[in-house]
Amino acid sequence: MGEKTIEVSNENFEEEVLNADVPVVVDFWAPWCGPCKMIAPVLEELAEENEGELKVAKVNVDHNQGLARKYQVSSIPNLVFFNEGEAVDRQVGFTSKEALIEKVDNLV
């Protein structure tokens, strides 16, 4: 995990994601997932480039199966975009940084 992304779990999901004062991209991932490892540096760059305007959080689905079920995560990586506590968009699977920038621009 990078310096700008934060790890969230059942314990702090509400505080860090649902009650955040900026939009949040939540990366549902697992350590054994190859595409998850590929998208991690892209998400770190997004977090750095949008610091103060966007939060990037990571949820390990192996340790937080309840959250994965709640947000209907069946494939990973699965990015869920939250704005004002609501899930407003989603990206399943690896995608380009450009495509993610477009989604982030629609959020912020």
Residues involved in catalysis: 33, 36
Which helix (H) or strand (E) segment is 38 a member of? helix 34-49
DSSP state of 17: I
In contact, 27 and 59? CB cutoff 8 Å: yes
- Helices (H) and strands (E) counted in the chain, each on its own, are 4, 5
